[in-house]
C-alpha cells in the first residue's frame, strides 16, 4: 500500500471520502469531510471540515502525503484542470471555489448565479472537458472555467421556465460528459437529457422519466446513462435503448471509459459494461471495497470510497490504502455516512 499508519491518522482518520481526482499517474486527490457521531443528528455539511488529501505516489513515504483543510464548504467536489494551469479545482454546492497546484493556492470568488448562468442552482458536478474545469448545476446549469475567477456560462441560450408545481429535482443537470467541447451530454432529473452541440442546445427525446444520475460519453462512440436502481441506457441523439434493468439499492454515482469498457460504481461495488452487457467487475475483494467514486486521467483509473482507494494502470491494480488495515475493523463495518 502507499499509506502508512502515521499518514492515515494525519490525513484520513475522522474523515470520510466523498470524491477523488487524478492529476497524473502518480498524483491523486481525495476529497473528504469530517465524520460525525451517527447517534446524533447530522450537522449541516457546511459546519463540517473539508479536507483534500494529496498523494504523490512516486515520492518516499515521508514526502508522499500532503493535505489542505477548509472550513465553511458544503459538499465540495473536484476535478483537475489542465488549462490555464494544471490545478485541482474544487467547487461546493453553493458555488464556492478553491484552486491549488502549479505553485498557486486560491480561494476564488463564488461563481455567479442567475437565470442565464453561469450556474442556476446548487452545483452537482465538477468535470474536465478539453483541459478546462466545468460545473453543472440544478435547473439545467452548465459553466466553464477559463481561469482564476473566470467562469463562462454555457447555459445562457438554454431557455426554460420551471413549472411552479415542479420540484427542482425534476430537472438536470446531475452529471455531464463530452466527446469534445461541442458535443456535450447533460443528464439529470426525471429523464431530463440535453445535448449541447456547435449549433446550441437540444432536449433529447429520452424514453423514460426515471431519475438519471450519471453519464459517460464512451470511447466506443456511444453515450451510457445511469438511472435509478442501477438501470443503464445506451444510445446517442434521439436513439436510446435500455441495456440493463437495475434492481440495486443505489444508482451509479460515476461512469467512466477506461481501456475498452465503461466502468460504473456506487458505494456498493464496481461494475463494467462491454457491448450491451453490464456485469460485476472481476476484481479482488481488497479492490472492490474501494468502490464509491471514479476518475480517469494520464492512463490510469482511480477508484476511491469510504473504505479505501486503488488505481488501475493497464491490467494491474495497485492498492493505495484501505481503512481496515488501520482501524482493525472488518469489511462491512458501518462507518458514519459521508
Let me know how long the chain is: 338
Is pLDDT of 330 > 70?
no
CB atoms < 10 A from the CB of 208, how many? Answer: 16
Angstrom distance (rounded) from CA 286 to CA 327 = 15
User: Are the CB atoms for 228 and 169 separated by under 8 Å?
Assistant: no
DSSP 3-state assignment of 195?
strand
Average pLDDT over the chain, rounded to an integer: 95
For every residue of 316-338, DSSP letters joined together read: EEEEEEEHHHHH-PPTT--PPP-
Q: Per-residue pLDDT tens for 233-262?
A: 999 999 999 999 999 999 999 999 999 999
In the chain, % of residues over pLDDT 70 = 97
Residue in the structure block whose three cell numbers are 473528504: 32
Confidence of residue 301 (pLDDT cuts 50, 70, 90): very high
Nearest to 56 by CA among 121, 107, 11: 11
pLDDT, position 150? 98
Confidence of residue 334 (pLDDT cuts 50, 70, 90): very low
User: Are the CB atoms for 141 and 97 separated by under 8 Å?
Assistant: no
Q: Per-residue pLDDT tens for 141-165?
A: 999 999 999 999 999 999 888 877 7
Residue 82, CA distances (Å) to 28, 79, 171, 283 in order: 14, 10, 30, 31
Residue in the structure block whose three cell numbers are 437529457: 193
Q: Per-residue pLDDT tens for 120-147?
A: 999 999 999 999 999 999 999 999 999 9
Work out whether the CA dihedral 320, 326, 327, 330 comes out positive or negative: positive
pLDDT, position 335? 46
Residue 17, CA distances (Å) to 167, 263, 305 in order: 29, 19, 6
User: Are the CB atoms for 184 and 176 separated by under 8 Å?
Assistant: yes
CB atoms < 10 A from the CB of 43, how many? Answer: 11
Structure-block grid coordinates of residue 312: 488501475
User: Are the CB atoms for 90 and 69 separated by under 8 Å?
Assistant: no
Instruction: Please state which CATH class domain 83-90+105-327 belongs to.
Output: mainly beta
Angstrom distance (rounded) from CA 316 to CA 321 = 16
User: Are the CB atoms for 251 and 226 separated by under 8 Å?
Assistant: yes
Residue in the structure block whose three cell numbers are 438511472: 227
Nearest to 157 by CA among 113, 109, 117, 106: 117
The set of residues, in sequence order, having a beta carbon less than 8 Å from that of 20 and lying 6+ positions away, is 28, 29, 30, 31, 293, 294, 295, 302, 304, 309
Amino acid at each position: 500500500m502507499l499509506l502508512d499508519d502515521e499518514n492515515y491518522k494525519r490525513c484520513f482518520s475522522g474523515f470520510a471520502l466523498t470524491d477523488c481526482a487524478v492529476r497524473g499517474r502518480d498524483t491523486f486527490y481525495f476529497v473528504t469531510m469530517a465524520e460525525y457521531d451517527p447517534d446524533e443528528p447530522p450537522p449541516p455539511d457546511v459546519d463540517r471540515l473539508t479536507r483534500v488529501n494529496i498523494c504523490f505516489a512516486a515520492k518516499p513515504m515521508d514526502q508522499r502525503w500532503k493535505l489542505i483543510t477548509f472550513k465553511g464548504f458544503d459538499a465540495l467536489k473536484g476535478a483537475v484542470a489542465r488549462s490555464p494551469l494544471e490545478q485541482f479545482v474544487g467547487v461546493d454546492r453553493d458555488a464556492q471555489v478553491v484552486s491549488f497546484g502549479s505553485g498557486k493556492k486560491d480561494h476564488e470568488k463564488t461563481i455567479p448565479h442567475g437565470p442565464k448562468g453561469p450556474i442556476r442552482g446548487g452545483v452537482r458536478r465538477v468535470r474536465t472537458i478539453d483541459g478546462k474545469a466545468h460545473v453543472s448545476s440544478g435547473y439545467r446549469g452548465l459553466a466553464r472555467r477559463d481561469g482564476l475567477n473566470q467562469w463562462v456560462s454555457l447555459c445562457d441560450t438554454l431557455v426554460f421556465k420551471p413549472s411552479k408545481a415542479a420540484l427542482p429535482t425534476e430537472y438536470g443537470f446531475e452529471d455531464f460528459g463530452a466527446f469534445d467541447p461541442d458535443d456535450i451530454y447533460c443528464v439529470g432529473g426525471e429523464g431530463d437529457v440535453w445535448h449541447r452541440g456547435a449549433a446550441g442546445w437540444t432536449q433529447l427525446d429520452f424514453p423514460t422519466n426515471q431519475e438519471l444520475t450519471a453519464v459517460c460519453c464512451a470511447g466506443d462512440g456511444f453515450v451510457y446513462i445511469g438511472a435509478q436502481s442501477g438501470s443503464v441506457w445506451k444510445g446517442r441523439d434521439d436513439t436510446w435503448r435500455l441495456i440493463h434493468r437495475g434492481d440495486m439499492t443505489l444508482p451509479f454515482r460515476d461512469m467512466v471509459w477506461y481501456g475498452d469498457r465503461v466502468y460504473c460504481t456506487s458505494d456498493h461495488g464496481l461494475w463494467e459494461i462491454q457491448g450491451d452487457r453490464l456485469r460485476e467487475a472481476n476484481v479482488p475483494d481488497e479492490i472492490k471495497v474501494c468502490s464509491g467514486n471514479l476518475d480517469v486521467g494520464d492512463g490510469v483509473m482511480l477508484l476511491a470510497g469510504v473504505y479505501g482507494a486503488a488505481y488501475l494502470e493497464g491490467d494491474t491494480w495497485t492498492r493505495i490504502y484501505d481503512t481496515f488495515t488501520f482501524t482493525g475493523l472488518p469489511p462491512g463495518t458501518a462507518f458514519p455516512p459521508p
